[in-house]
Structure 1
Amino acid sequence: MQQLIRGRVLDFFADPSDTDRSHRYHENGAVLIEDGRILAVGDHADLTREGLQEIDHRPHLIMPGFIDPHIHFPQLQVIASWGSQLLDWLNTYTFPAEAEFADPAHATHMAGRFLDQLTAHGTTTAVAFCSSHRTSAEALFSAAHARDMAMVAGKVMMDRNAIPAVHDTPQSSYDDSKKLIASWHGTGRQRYAITPRFAITSSPEQLEMAGALVREHPGCHLQTHLSENRDEIDYTLSLYPKARDYLDIYDHYGLLGPRTLLGHSIHLEPREIARMAETGSRAVFCPTSNLFLGSGLFDGDGLRAAGITSGIASDVGGGTSWSMLQTLNEGYKILQMRGQKLHPLAAFHWATRGNALALGMEAEIGTLAPGSAADMVVLDVHATPAMALRAERAETLSEELFILQIMGDDRAIAQTYVAGRAQKNGSKHTSG
């Protein structure tokens, strides 16, 4: 059945940082969808017809659903846990919480809660670290597949330097990953990410296994962490004394390339930046966790000038909000501290098409182009009294977007659509 989703419609076909002609905006617009796909986008008058079911979201703004390219599924209950810095926080909160995901019942229950939080905040696709247990990835993929929700995820590979309950072995991590890839990569909208947590928790033998997986499954993503924290870097290099730098460890085992997502990428050496650009490896900016854990300030303009594509992500649970609006808010502030600017159009491009480009998935998600999945978010700039008061003085689309970016959170998400299906309970006007 076809449906027409009506409202003010905005999406991007180019990066606003590169060109003035970057987006499509229809003041009285609509999105025509069928079977979870977008058939057409344009003015409402051109798309409406008698008998067509309409959902009217006016005066709200309809955009592609947000994409979160770095988030930790098992950390949903350790968000907002007090900790000093990264390594202490992992040992005190994260690893004990992740140990619980060996229990299939717990993992299954939490998978539903995890996806509920994503869609409540307008996020329709995520790239997720699961725990080291195959059960956690099975639970997340199963729950996402049942909702026809695009998910990129992987079982964490980690065989040392954590509590025994979250350890695997080089061979078991390879075997479990192979089974998950066979079961889930390409099943519906599910994709697999080979996931060595980071060099501290993977032995050389395990990174060898990760490299073998990359060679055997070139269509999979690879996700890990890089240069988040100074102490982390020092510890990493003490474990791999022959490495020229942190990135060189991953490079040695064949883990770099256009499908590689390197979370944080803050304290990079010039050689690392050049090598990331040469291999097409992606950096992922995690502003709220970088601030929360005191890790450092991401150099967005510097990496961009070097030719590196970057994503921007929540990094829950080190990150402090599920909201990509709040992620953009804190990203704006970090870049301000760097003397860099994040225009609101560039910010919303980053959270949609920009993150899709970082994943190589722009033909499927991140825009409202015909043929794309009907993953959408409906934004309400009047969601709170303070936002409504501020919005009285907004005269341009950019001003409205900036209000959403700085003041918005889940309350500004009027509705979220995953493959054309509404995810949030609430009032909406239906006609036709």
Structure 2
Amino acid sequence: MTLKAYRGEILSVSLDPLPRPDAIRHDPDGLLVVEDGIIVARGAYADLADRYQSILVESLAGLIVPGFVDAHVHYPQMDRIAAHGEQLLDWLERHIFPAEQAFADRAHAREVADLFLDELLRNGTTSALVFPTVHAHSVDALFNAALARNMRIASGKVLMDLGPDGLRDTVEAARDDSEALIRCWRNRGRLSYAVTPRFALTSSDAQLRLAGELLAAHPDMLLHTHLAENVQECAAVIDRFPDAYHYLDAYDRFGLVGARSVFAHAIHMCGRSCARMAQAGAGIAICPSSNLFLGSGFFDFAQADTHGIRLGLGTDIGAGTSFSMLFTAGLAYQAALARGTALDPFRALYLATAGSAALLHIGDRVGSLLPGQEADFVVLDSGATPLLARRTAGASLADRLFALQILGDDRAVARTYVMGECAWDRTSGGTP
């Protein structure tokens, strides 16, 4: 048994504060007690100090928040971040498919997986739902790297039997590879598996049916795919599925819309599809950075809230332009405002932590810094840059948090902790 204690200002938002403002928990001088990687106590230092007086307490300067949970990101695309000049479908053809074809090389996959996960930790992200490629060994590379870092990662082989040369599988190969990967990796360490058809245009009906069969056979797994991201894409899907009521229905007919389904984007949704998503308990990973970068549009928070749809936040690297969930939360504010909604900074923090964790069905494990949860947390420095320091001097908690989301990035992450162990330290440029 190993007990550790951390003292500092602690903030978490365990439930959506839009209907539940009492979900905001702030300990201005707090204590977080960790036993073998699990939080066993959290509260005011004055209330807990006597009980844990025999434990060495480490004081952390900054704002302690839960480790960020990235609900949608592509690790093979990190080398094509900031690729110029196209909207979604052309961008895939010109930039992304060639980058993913390089993952036929196992050594390349291992190299990128290591770099990718280190970049997540540098930005304070400790859990993520990750797209690999169609190559089974791209999943092996990611999961091996995640095990080495003790990170909570969900992923699964991409299914795309209608993909381009070098990225095209078959229904039979997809079934065999997926079943083998599930047997090998599901629930090892802090890993979980996600059935991952790329999107409706890159899988045949037979392969989409296979995805539904895999989900039915393994009900503990996630479904991870894209939905209603771009106007041209939506039109192409309706052409492909002329009998579908809407884009979501193209998935629904194959059993892919359920309580464990995570759909990235969903910015061009009709009321009927929103109602169906809410009824099924499915959720949306909002990706404002990539939506802006590819000219796709702005997510409609009011529409989603009207229907009670579960929401999380994703960076969507490499159409997304930053690994920072702080930066992504700031863009979510701007995207919401473009459609007439002012996103509260506490709600933005919820989406980047407990909201995304709930979307990934790991909300009992991470996201809220509650006793019984895993001790993944981040120390944020509101004085990381001269501008941040000046803007936040004497500011309220809400103003400090909002400034961190609008002006912050990886520089504001002083430390990242995984299961109570420091996994990233800004002063040393890595683990201490």
Same fold (TM > 0.5):
yes
Between the aligned partners of 2:109 and 2:272, the Cα distance in structure 1 is 40
The residue correspondences of 1:413-424 to structure 2 (distance < 5 A) are: 413-424=413-424
Equivalent position amino acid for 1:53 in 2: L
Equivalent position amino acid for 2:80 in 1: V
Q: Who is 1:67 aligned against?
A: 69
Q: Who is 2:136 aligned against?
A: 134
The residue correspondences of 1:165-314 to structure 2 (distance < 5 A) are: 165-314=166-315
How much has 1:105 moved relative to structure 2?
1.1
How much has 1:43 moved relative to structure 2?
2.1
How much has 1:112 moved relative to structure 2?
0.9
CA distance change for structure 1 residues 294 and 105 in 2, over 3 Å: closer, same or farther? same
Between the aligned partners of 1:393 and 1:63, the Cα distance in structure 2 is 20
Between the aligned partners of 1:263 and 1:21, the Cα distance in structure 2 is 29
Is contact 1:376-1:416 (8 Å) kept? yes
Between the aligned partners of 1:13 and 1:84, the Cα distance in structure 2 is 38
Is contact 1:130-1:136 (8 Å) kept? yes
Q: Who is 1:19 aligned against?
A: 20
Q: Who is 1:113 aligned against?
A: 115
How much has 1:274 moved relative to structure 2?
1.4
How much has 1:354 moved relative to structure 2?
1.3
Q: Which runs of 5+ in 2 are unaligned?
A: none
Between the aligned partners of 1:427 and 1:335, the Cα distance in structure 2 is 35
Is contact 1:3-1:32 (8 Å) kept? yes
The percent of aligned pairs where both chains have the same amino acid is: 45
CA distance change for structure 1 residues 173 and 39 in 2, over 3 Å: closer, same or farther? same
Equivalent position amino acid for 2:98 in 1: P
Q: Who is 1:56 aligned against?
A: 59
Between the aligned partners of 2:391 and 2:17, the Cα distance in structure 1 is 25
Is contact 1:304-1:310 (8 Å) kept? no
How much has 1:384 moved relative to structure 2?
0.2
Between the aligned partners of 2:240 and 2:426, the Cα distance in structure 1 is 52
Find the residue that maps to 1:124 and give its secondary structure: strand
Is contact 2:413-2:426 (8 Å) kept? no
Between the aligned partners of 1:14 and 1:329, the Cα distance in structure 2 is 19
- 1:210-249, CA deviations, whole angstroms, 9 ceiling, x for partnerless residues? 1110111110000111110111011112222222221111
Q: Who is 2:371 aligned against?
A: 370
Is contact 2:227-2:264 (8 Å) kept? yes
Between the aligned partners of 2:367 and 2:279, the Cα distance in structure 1 is 25
Is contact 2:157-2:178 (8 Å) kept? yes
Between the aligned partners of 1:336 and 1:270, the Cα distance in structure 2 is 20
Equivalent position amino acid for 1:125 in 2: S
Further displaced range: 299-308 or 37-46: 37-46
Find the residue that maps to 1:77 and give its secondary structure: helix
116, 134, 156: which one aligns with 1:154? 156
How much has 1:393 moved relative to structure 2?
4.4
Equivalent position amino acid for 1:403 in 2: A
Further displaced range: 42-51 or 364-373: 42-51
Q: Who is 2:42 aligned against?
A: 41
Equivalent position amino acid for 1:419 in 2: M
- 1:12-67, CA deviations, whole angstroms, 9 ceiling, x for partnerless residues? 23322113312221111121112111111112244444552332212x01011010
Between the aligned partners of 1:410 and 1:273, the Cα distance in structure 2 is 34
How much has 1:2 moved relative to structure 2?
1.3
Q: Who is 2:401 aligned against?
A: 401
Further displaced range: 125-134 or 17-26: 17-26
Q: Which runs of 5+ in 1 are unaligned?
A: none
Report the aligned-residue RMSD.
Answer: 1.3
Between the aligned partners of 2:14 and 2:95, the Cα distance in structure 1 is 41
Find the residue that maps to 2:79 and give its secondary structure: coil
Is contact 2:285-2:356 (8 Å) kept? no
Find the residue that maps to 2:196 and give its secondary structure: strand
Between the aligned partners of 2:121 and 2:364, the Cα distance in structure 1 is 21
TM-score (norm. length: structure 1): 0.96
Name segments (4+ residues, structure 1) moved above 6 Å: none
TM-score (norm. length: structure 2): 0.96
Find the residue that maps to 2:252 and give its secondary structure: helix
Find the residue that maps to 2:6 and give its secondary structure: strand
Is contact 1:3-1:54 (8 Å) kept? yes
CA distance change for structure 1 residues 427 and 34 in 2, over 3 Å: closer, same or farther? farther
Equivalent position amino acid for 1:285 in 2: I
How much has 1:405 moved relative to structure 2?
0.7
Find the residue that maps to 1:25 and give its secondary structure: strand
CA distance change for structure 1 residues 79 and 427 in 2, over 3 Å: closer, same or farther? closer
